[in-house]
């Protein structure tokens, strides 16, 4: 936006005269210019263009106007609701003894039985707690989006509107993988939130949240988009939007608005060491949430495609080991037997670079791309294998709803013979028959001792080497052959407890 135009004025020097007619012309010009500037400012906040940044000057400086959220709150605030979910929690047993002693202590039962004058133990009844959160209306007939963790396990759910109406809500369904839940209230003509496009959201753009932090209803906070596509631990199917909007307990499930008043995300998590806001908040992109909601409404569940592989991030050292110029893609470290990937011929050590022509920049991109498709979908993977890229067609399976079984502890057995590879800093032994059966492996080398290069690479005692670069390792002879063909670029495929990963090994 350009500022008021500059009108040349006469310097007040001796001999310079200013006539009333000239003053009238100057005053009129200034008034028209200022009105034009005000009209531009008004268009910034009332028009279709929500941008508040003034175009950069010739010297590169960027001026900024602060955004005004008053119209957004007035227009879109009524679509935001407060949610209260009553939950029954099992009561914890009270210690009967007059002094603290752990119940697993061998003397606990002795003191409980023989301490005199102990009151009789009473039956413990479940206690009721209330979970508070936020949500927003996505249809005028009463469908509401919120977080799954707000309403999961709720026996009774109540929705409070901005006009103080209280409505009983029914849980239509929820999806724990994305933390999205759908509620339904019996009402009509409700105010509906407008849905935006998170793909158009830019880092640095202003956003606002409306919710009920700590029970303070209809609270508005604002900030900017800090990053997009964030991957969080144990959250493989959501590319979170990171913001610095103040989000606290009670904001969960509430909407994240852009300056157009469109919902671009659902506020879900915060990063905190204190339990309160510390400047880092995460929101679920609204397109993912709407996809989940539509499946819940139509099918009662959420279906996702499954490839059947375990993957790892490609570091610069691993890229060099596999002959890649750039550390892109998802490195396959395990192929599930009889899964879609196994049937398509994918192998351990393959690096998935593309899916349906779209670049897989990081390993976290692949679960999102695959999970966004339905079971039975046909895809084409661009795979890097032994120095060349090839296309692999795959028909996706269906991701199971139940979580995988908990990892079983690995039992280490002494080996009858050890093999030392001093240049690598490794002492290895072949797996015994019992170890192969227990681990479900056809073979491998158990690491007994690490030092030097192996220790610096992060290899650990108890790791099992099952591959080197893209060659399978079953025994010491196979390891020696693969090592001779590695050409100095070594990436060891290692089984560590229930995880499989490649570890790049740099020789001194």
Task: Spell out a b/e string for 24-38, using b for 16 or more CB atoms within 10 Å of the CB, else e.
Answer: eeeeeeeeebeeeee
Query: What stretch of H or E contains 241?
Result: strand 235-243
| Assigned token pair, 285 | 């992109």
Query: What stretch of H or E contains 454?
Result: helix 452-457
Pairing of strands 194-195, 305-306: unpaired
8 Å CB contact between 360 and 351: no
DSSP state, 354?
A: E
DSSP string, 76-89: HGGGEEEEEEEEEE
Residue 53 CA to residue 44 CA, distance in Å, equals: 9
Extended beta strands in 271-322, E state: 281-285, 305-306, 309-313
Which of 345, 351, 381 is CA-nearest to residue 363? 351
Residue 438 CA to residue 411 CA, distance in Å, equals: 9
Task: Spell out a b/e string for 89-124, using b for 16 or more CB atoms within 10 Å of the CB, else e.
Answer: eeeeeeeeeeeeeeeeeeeeeeeeeeeeeeeeeeee
Phi, psi for 10 (deg, rounded to 5) = -80, 135
Residues 6 or more apart whose Cβ sits within 8 Å of residue 306 = 339, 340, 370, 375, 396, 397, 398, 399, 400
Cα angle for residues 377, 381, 382 (degrees, 5° grid) = 165
| Assigned token pair, 77 | 């605030």
Known catalytic residues? 149, 179, 252
Phi, psi for 199 (deg, rounded to 5) = -65, -25
Residue 178 CA to residue 291 CA, distance in Å, equals: 11
| Assigned token pair, 386 | 């032994």
Max distance between CA atoms of the chain, in angstroms, equals 114
Which of 156, 179, 320 is CA-nearest to residue 236? 179
Task: Spell out a b/e string for 3-13, using b for 16 or more CB atoms within 10 Å of the CB, else e.
Answer: eeeeeeeeeee
Which residue's entry shows tokens 């080398």?
445
Residue 403 CA to residue 408 CA, distance in Å, equals: 15
Residue 181 CA to residue 292 CA, distance in Å, equals: 9
């Amino acid at each position: 936006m350009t500022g008021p135009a500059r009108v040349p004025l006469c310097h007040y020097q001796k001999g310079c005269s200013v006539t009333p007619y000239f003053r009238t012309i100057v005053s009129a010009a200034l008034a028209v210019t200022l009105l034009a500037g005000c009209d531009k400012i008004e268009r910034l906040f009332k028009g279709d263009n929500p941008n508040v940044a003034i175009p950069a000057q010739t010297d590169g400086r960027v001026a900024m106007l602060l955004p005004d959220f008053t119209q957004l709150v007035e227009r879109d605030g009524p679509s935001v609701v407060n949610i209260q979910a009553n939950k029954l929690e099992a009561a914890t047993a009270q210690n009967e003894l007059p002094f603290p002693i752990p119940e697993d202590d061998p003397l606990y039962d002795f003191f409980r039985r023989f301490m005199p004058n102990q009151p009789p133990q009473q039956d413990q009844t479940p206690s009721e707690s209330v979970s508070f959160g936020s949500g927003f209306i996505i249809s005028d007939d009463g469908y509401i989006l919120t977080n799954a963790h707000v309403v999961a396990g709720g026996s009774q759910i109540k929705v409070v509107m901005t006009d103080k109406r209280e409505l009983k809500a029914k849980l239509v369904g929820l999806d724990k993988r994305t933390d999205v839940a759908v509620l339904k209230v019996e009402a009509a003509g409700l105010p509906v939130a407008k849905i935006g496009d998170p793909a158009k959201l830019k880092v640095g753009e202003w956003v606002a949240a409306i919710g009920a932090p700590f029970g303070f209803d209809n609270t508005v906070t604002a900030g900017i988009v800090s990053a997009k596509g964030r991957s969080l631990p144990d959250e493989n199917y959501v590319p979170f939007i990171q913001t610095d909007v103040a989000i606290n307990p009670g904001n969960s499930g509430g909407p994240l608005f852009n300056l157009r008043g469109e919902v671009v995300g659902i506020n879900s998590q915060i990063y905190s060491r204190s339990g309160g806001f510390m400047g880092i908040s995460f929101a679920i992109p609204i397109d993912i949430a709407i996809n989940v909601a539509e499946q819940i409404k139509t099918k009662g569940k959420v279906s996702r495609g499954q490839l059947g592989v375990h993957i790892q991030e490609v570091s610069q050292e691993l890229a060099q080991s596999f002959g890649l110029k750039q550390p892109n893609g998802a490195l396959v470290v395990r192929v599930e037997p009889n899964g879609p990937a196994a049937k398509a011929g994918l192998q351990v050590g393959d690096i998935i670079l593309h899916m349906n022509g779209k670049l897989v920049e990081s390993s976290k991109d692949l679960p999102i791309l695959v999970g966004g498709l339905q079971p039975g979908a046909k895809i084409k993977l661009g795979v890097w294998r032994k120095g060349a890229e090839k296309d692999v067609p795959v028909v996706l399976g269906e991701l199971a709803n139940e979580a995988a079984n908990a990892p079983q502890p690995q039992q280490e057995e002494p080996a009858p013979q050890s093999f030392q590879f001093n240049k690598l800093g490794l002492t290895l032994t072949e797996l015994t028959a019992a170890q192969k059966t227990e681990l479900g492996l056809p073979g491998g080398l158990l690491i007994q001792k690490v030092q030097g290069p192996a220790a610096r690479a992060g290899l650990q005692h108890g790791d099992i080497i099952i591959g080197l670069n893209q060659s399978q390792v079953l025994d010491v002879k196979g390891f020696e052959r693969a090592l001779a063909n590695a050409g100095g670029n070594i990436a060891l495929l290692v089984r560590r407890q229930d995880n499989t990963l490649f570890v790049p090994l740099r020789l001194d």
